[in-house]
Structure 1
């Protein structure tokens, strides 16, 4: 089964896979080469999660409010 490229994963998918990777590494029942591959994949998954969280924070921060405190829309975030 081929792995989905990290850049195509949603936050939830990346987090779930990262939890699996960490679990396998903590058990220590994988060969050294596989451990290295898992560690590399885990590092990429962690970075993906951080990126997706930052994007979400920027979107939330860009929401504008009217005088009554109701959302009136969003301000475009660079790169969107």
Structure 2
């Protein structure tokens, strides 16, 4: 299976969580959905960790710091 975008994975994960929270799903289907949710959760976590490492590398290479505008808070 090819990896989908972070946004699509997160949307699918949210749908699964909602479905499981409602409790209207048969046990076998719940187990399958839970397994898929765990796969999506790992995929999203890995994607975020990779993005964080990439940003840290870019920032260290340019010797810059992230500056947040205080007015936007």
**TM-score normalised over the length of structure 1:** 0.72
> What secondary structure does 2:50 align onto?
helix
Unaligned runs of at least 5 residues, structure 2: 65-73
Greater strand percent: which structure? Answer: 1
Q: CA RMSD, aligned part only?
A: 1.2
**TM-score normalised over the length of structure 2:** 0.79
Aligned length, in residue pairs: 62
Counterpart in the other structure of 1:52: 47
- Deviation track 1:29-68 (CA, whole Å, cap 9, x = no partner) reads 01000000000000000000000001100110111215xx
Counterpart in the other structure of 2:57: 62
Q: Which has the higher contact order (CA 8 A, sep 6+)?
A: 2
